[in-house]
Amino acid sequence: MAEYKNLSKEELLSLRSELEKQYEEFKKLGLQLDMSRGKPNKAQLDLSSAILDVFNSTSDVKSVDGTDTRNYGILTGIPEAKELFGELMGVPAKNTIIFGTASLTIMYDYISQCMMFGCGDEPWIKQGNVKFLCPVPGYDRHFSILQHFGIEMINVKMNDDGPDMDSIEELVKDSSVKGIFCVPKYSNPDGITFSDEVVRRFAALKPHAKDFRVIWDNAYLVHGINDTPDELLNIFDVAKEYGSEDMFIEVCSTSKISFAGAGVSALAASDANIKAIQSRMTVQTISHDKMNQLRHARYFKNLDGIKEHMKKHAAILKPKFDTVTEGLTKAFEGTGIARWNNPNGGYFVSLFVMNGCAKRVGELCKEAGLTLTTVGATYPYGIDPDDSNIRIAPSFPDVDELKKAVELLAVCVKLAAVEKLLDK
């Protein structure tokens, strides 16, 4: 097919009418498809069913240190959970804290603490206008946290190997820039893993603000979907070389390993940060759910156990990702109106349509029964300056639904492009 930009007005008009016909056919089907959230499907959740067999009424529910996990105590997590998450994030157990179900809550709480009490300097709330760097496109819930606290967000471009470090090195000279949110592996939504050079430049950052924090949201750290998974340098190993460990707060969870609604989350940080976080946790809680920690630790045993388990997730997810990327290739080859990533893991395919068309695509899809992540949500304040990015979440629908959804999406993307070109 010819590139759309080279089509004549007549060709575009004829194409529009053809696409409108296709679109109307889709509408008649009365579809109800959802590719909006990175949500595991039932088959993935079933993979972890046996976690529920770890305990019954006759089980020993003591942690290795003898703690009865049913009772109060052990603020920062039982030893075996700390070991497991330490191995997962590549840090000593002592540098982990185990929390409840959601790493989002850890991040929210960390920002909240920085606002109210600071981290090595005055509370952020007392420092006037405070700013954060946001690699874009990015995770909408990171942006929601920042917006909630009134932290100004500055877009930073994502390159193929991670955020644009030239920009970041420049921006951190402003002492009101207090941090950055990152998904360093299989980024949300681009599926990009930060290159060794990017990780090194992060570790080597010399922000003007001494209370600058990198929230290293390692949500997809073992979430490869094929035989060529990405490798991410261990940020704490590299940071040690630069003495910058205190700059990094890493989080992860089993939400997409065991159960999205009933997993375990954890934080990794330097000795100094662990001490600070722990000291206010004593006020905040008595302990998180230690039985669920023990359930997970006994079931997965160690990192190898998790890795074996993740192969089963990959086997379920790969055909879904393939359906999306093959569908997109088939639909858009040669048209020059769309580009997308082919990630080795994570939960998303990031689609870039012709500038100025994404919102229109969202409308068209919605009208025909396909729910996408709100267009714009992958940018701070919900504003995609190019109105181009669409996040596709292939995990939840089944392959047949996905195929249909991608076909419909493609028609909508094309229609929006033609409308745009005709409007010029």
When asked if residue 144 is in the footprint of a second copy (CB under 8 A), the reply is yes
Q: Which of 125, 205, 303, 316 binds a second copy (CB under 8 A)?
A: 125
Rounded Cα–Cα distance for residues 102 and 265 (Å): 6
Span interacting with a second copy, options 41-49, 270-278, 320-328, 368-376, rule CB under 8 A: 41-49
Count of alpha carbons within 13 Å of 61, Cβ hemisphere only? 15
**Interface with a second copy, residue 309, by CB under 8 A:** no
Report the residue from 76, 188, 195, 255 that binds a second copy according to the rule CB under 8 A.
255
**Pair 392, 327: CB distance under 8 Å:** no
Distances (CA, A) of 310 to 86, 91, 303: 18, 20, 10
Residue 288 binds a second copy, judged by CB under 8 A? yes
Position 302 contacts a second copy (CB under 8 A): no
- Tell me which stretch binds a second copy (CB under 8 A): 144-152, 160-168, 188-196, 404-412: 144-152
Residue among 145 and 337 whose Cβ is closer to a second copy:
145
The count of residues in the chain is 424
45, 205, 303, 316: residue in contact with a second copy (rule CB under 8 A): 45
Closer of 105 and 159 to a second copy (Cβ): 105
Q: What's the CA gap between 181 and 334, in Å, rounded? A: 35
Tell me the β-bridge partners of 136: 157
Name residue 349's amino acid: V
Under rule CB under 8 A, residue 39 binds a second copy: yes
* Binding of a second copy by 378 (CB under 8 A): no
Residue in 7, 12, 97, 115 binding a second copy, rule: CB under 8 A: 115
Owner of token pair 């930073």: 156
55 near a second copy, judged by CB under 8 A = yes
Closest to 204 (Cα-Cα) out of 176, 153, 162, 168: 168
56 binds a second copy (CB under 8 A): yes
With tokens 């040669």, the residue in question is: 334
Question: Could you tell me how many residues of this chain bind a second copy (CB under 8 A)?
Answer: 56
Q: Shortest approach of a second copy to residue 275 CB, angstroms?
A: 16
Task: Determine if 16 is a binding residue for a second copy (CB under 8 A).
Answer: no
How many CB atoms are closer than 10 A to CB 149?
17
Q: Which of 132, 181, 259, 321 binds a second copy (CB under 8 A)?
A: 259
Q: How far is the CB of 46 from a second copy (least distance, A)?
A: 9
Min CB(282)–a second copy separation in Å: 8
By the rule CB under 8 A, 290 interacts with a second copy: yes
Long-range Cβ contact pairs of 326-334 (< 8 A, separation 24 or more): 327/402, 327/403, 327/406, 327/407, 327/410, 328/406, 328/410, 331/406, 331/407, 331/410, 331/413, 331/414, 332/410, 332/413, 333/1, 334/1, 334/2, 334/3
Minimum CB distance to a second copy, residue 264 (Å)? 10
In whole angstroms, give the CA distance from residue 258 to residue 254: 5
Instruction: In whole angstroms, give the CA distance from residue 79 to residue 94.
Output: 9
Q: Report if residue 278 touches a second copy, rule: CB under 8 A.
A: no
For 237, the token pair is 């190993």
Cβ closer to a second copy: 193 or 373? 373
Dist. CA 392–CA 409, nearest whole Å: 10
CB of 130 to a second copy, least distance (A): 13
104 interacts with a second copy by CB under 8 A: yes
DSSP state of 176: T
Minimum CB separation of residue 113 from a second copy in Å reads: 9
DSSP characters over 381-420:
GG--TTS-EEEE--SSS-HHHHHHHHHHHHHHHHHHHHHH
Does residue 247 contact residue 214 with C-beta atoms inside 8 Å?
yes
Q: Which is nearer to a second copy, 218 or 254 (CB)?
A: 254
Residue 22 is a binding residue for a second copy (CB under 8 A): no
Per-residue contact string for residues 64-93; x = within reach of a second copy by CB under 8 A: ----xxxxxxx-------------------
Work out whether 262 is an interface residue with a second copy (CB under 8 A). Answer: yes
Structure tokens at 381: 């304040």
Task: State in angstroms the smallest separation of the CB of 49 from a second copy.
Answer: 4
Q: Which residues lie near a second copy (CB under 8 A)?
A: 37, 39-40, 42, 45, 48-53, 55-59, 61, 68-74, 100-102, 104-105, 108, 112, 115-116, 125, 141, 144-145, 148-149, 255, 259-262, 280, 282-292
